[in-house]
Structure 1
Amino acid sequence: MTSSKIFIPRPYQDLIINHEIDTLRCNIWAGMGMGKTVATLTTLEDLFMAGAETQPALVLAPLRVAASTWPDEAVKWGHLRNIEVQPILGNAKARAAALANSNASVFTINYDNLVWLVEELGGRWPFGTVISDESTRLKSFRLRGGGKRAAALGKVAHKHVRRWMNLTGTPAPNGLVDLWGQA
């Protein structure tokens, strides 16, 4: 087992953390490798420890990021010792078993399984915070006919989710309409 690192936030990471704490629905558009994941996990740790958030968080991310980046970052940094990240991956049986982990405070899932998750949970949606990592995947979210993922997300986004964070290093809009879907 490797030892945990001490996290000393860079000034811009302090800005990210404070913005995420202060703003219930926000966008973090910072370059790749600038520490958005550790900053966001730090935000969650602070909110959980202060009692400001009591429901688990859900991270929507590309498969590799959901499977390894978020869990690895939580283990890597010593100040995140109270955060357990549970990926919701694999076949339907494995995903359902992962959802049953009552110790996890953060769950990760890839975008392709989002429709399954919304249908599986229905009105029992437990996540008070949703984090869209690589939020460019949602750029058609607000457009008419934005797709199955957008429709599924729309069922829970405003009714059950109190805090929403979009993260990306590359907002990459083709115009204001694409940017609107990410905001």
Structure 2
Amino acid sequence: MKAELRPYQKYAVNFILEHPAAGLFLDMGLGKTLSTLVAVDDLRMLDELGKTLIIAPKSVALNTWPAEIQKWDDISHLTYSIVVGKKAQRERALFRDVDLYITNRENIVWLVEFYGKKWPFKTVIIDELSSFKSPTAKRFRALRQVRPLMKRVVGLTGTPAPNSLLDLWPEMYLIDHGKRLGKTITGFRQQYFHPGQRSGYIVYNWLPNPGSEQIIYSKIKDVAISMQSSDYLKLPPRTDNTIEVEMSDKEKKIYKKFAKDFVLDLSDGESGTITASNAAILQQKLTQLANGAIYDDDGKVIEFHQHKLDALERIIEEAQGQPILVFYWFQHDRDRILKRFPEAHVLDTSKDDVDRWTKGEIPILLAQPASAGHGLNLQDGGHIVVWFGLTWSPEYYQQANKRLDRSGQKSPVIIHHILTKGTDDYRMLDVVQGKMTKEQALKDAVKVVMEE
């Protein structure tokens, strides 16, 4: 199949060609993988590419990049080696003579240690650049060591600042080696931010100074472009639906007591005590209760209710056999869904699973948004999403929904959110949909508990 690039994709290709340091902050579904591969092929023919490394989430490294190369006649001649698996497999993959070396981000520390100062990759493409947003993460620190040895860096992401503008500093550092936003996160923070919540010398969050956002964007605009899918694509309409379930009076009483006391005793001869040592752990435990099950202090799963499972069953019945993509957060949620619906299948991000889903062979596909939310093209297999359990991360939420709500989707996308009344489910939905910050949501939750 011949690749017919759209005007915005041609612009992205030219931007990469003209900028040795390039950030493509393109929304999900705008074809940044294809644009990058076309630019890579052009650079190869101009003899300006050098040895090239592509870093991506594991599922994307195994599936998306190889699939894009094989799909389009224009770039199908590009050769590649997938550097994943056990150490011996990775080493063999590195010694192959190919155009592109594709690896997952978990291997970056090993790769830097493997080559040391003899780092050979002159061109480095970082897919889902936002996964390098932590300046203390080992993967960022490893890549930072060898950044001076790279001649060309391309960073790809649809969510460059998923939580805060502070996320931009590590990402931009890998793109331009600190030329625009400074060499250190401390300097960047001191120049553009001020303390928000704090206790003495402990600062819990940083807020941008007035006008900082515009200044930061103006500093990086010469090496970064941003595009939103709503400006360039005509997708079928999307419907966001809320399905509310309610706990029994007894369950509500237990939930509220746990929220107040941080201790829950469900002793019945088999189950034990559940404790939360701090507010963050309490929030996570309460989220589990809202979903219908919780881990006790010994790691045993205690089922609390089945209201969300009942709601999911109604959605499946109403779908009349249409495939459904279900996102879960906790492992016990996945296991309980599988027990209720044996026909469901857990996505392991292998190419076989993606192919089976696309062919309509999987009626209910279960996916964890932290591991399956990036890069997978699932739009040809269905148009119904169900959030059994939400995440606090807007990035995971947006990326996960874009597995179906993306270019190539032919049917209106329906996104169901199963929410338990009287719990943090509603605050989580407000956070991921951008209606409030996580900090404000947690403060509101604490306020409600204190008032009650």
Secondary structure of the equivalent of 1:172?
A: coil
Shift of 1:78: 0.7
Answer with 1 or 2: which has the greater Rg: 2
Matched, 1:114 2:103: no
1:129-175 deviation line (CA, Å, top 9, x unaligned): 111100111112xx3xx2211221111111x1010111012223332
Matched, 1:45 2:41: yes
1:20-46 deviation line (CA, Å, top 9, x unaligned): 000111110111121100110000000
Tell me the equivalent position of 1:89.
84
Secondary structure of the equivalent of 1:86?
A: strand
Amino acid at match of 1:19: F
Shift of 1:82: 3.1
1:49-83 deviation line (CA, Å, top 9, x unaligned): 11122x22111110000111111111111111331
Tell me the equivalent position of 2:418.
none
| 167-176 or 40-49, which deviates more | 167-176
Matched, 1:165 2:160: no
Gaps of 5+ in 1: none
Tell me the equivalent position of 1:174.
163
Could you tell me which of 8, 12, 32 is aligned with 1:12? 8
Q: How far, CA to CA, are the matches of 1:93 and 1:10 in structure 2?
A: 41
Equivalent residues in 2 for 1:98-109 (5 A)? 98-102=93-97, 104-109=98-103
Tell me the equivalent position of 2:64.
69
RMSD: 1.2
Gaps of 5+ in 2: 173-452
Tell me the equivalent position of 1:123.
117
Q: How far, CA to CA, are the matches of 1:127 and 1:112 in structure 2?
A: 17
TM-score scaled to structure 1, two decimals?
A: 0.90
Shift of 1:85: 2.0
Shift of 1:8: 1.1
Shift of 1:114: 0.5
Amino acid at match of 2:45: M
Matched, 1:132 2:126: yes
Q: How far, CA to CA, are the matches of 1:173 and 1:68 in structure 2?
A: 24
Q: How far, CA to CA, are the matches of 1:134 and 1:84 in structure 2?
A: 22
Q: How far, CA to CA, are the matches of 2:42 and 2:61 in structure 1?
A: 21
Q: How far, CA to CA, are the matches of 1:77 and 1:148 in structure 2?
A: 35
Amino acid at match of 2:169: W
Q: How far, CA to CA, are the matches of 1:166 and 1:58 in structure 2?
A: 12
Q: How far, CA to CA, are the matches of 1:82 and 1:110 in structure 2?
A: 22
Q: How far, CA to CA, are the matches of 2:67 and 2:48 in structure 1?
A: 25
Q: How far, CA to CA, are the matches of 2:59 and 2:163 in structure 1?
A: 26
Q: How far, CA to CA, are the matches of 1:149 and 1:182 in structure 2?
A: 12
Q: How far, CA to CA, are the matches of 1:91 and 1:14 in structure 2?
A: 38
8 Å CA contact 2:160, 2:167 repeated in 1: no
Task: Tell me how many residue pairs correspond in the alignment.
Answer: 172
Q: How far, CA to CA, are the matches of 2:60 and 2:162 in structure 1?
A: 22
Tell me the equivalent position of 2:31.
35
Q: How far, CA to CA, are the matches of 1:122 and 1:182 in structure 2?
A: 22
TM-score scaled to structure 2, two decimals?
A: 0.37
Q: How far, CA to CA, are the matches of 1:71 and 1:124 in structure 2?
A: 27
1:77-130 deviation line (CA, Å, top 9, x unaligned): 11113311211000000000000111x111111111100111111222211111
Q: How far, CA to CA, are the matches of 1:81 and 1:149 in structure 2?
A: 30
Secondary structure of the equivalent of 1:79?
A: coil
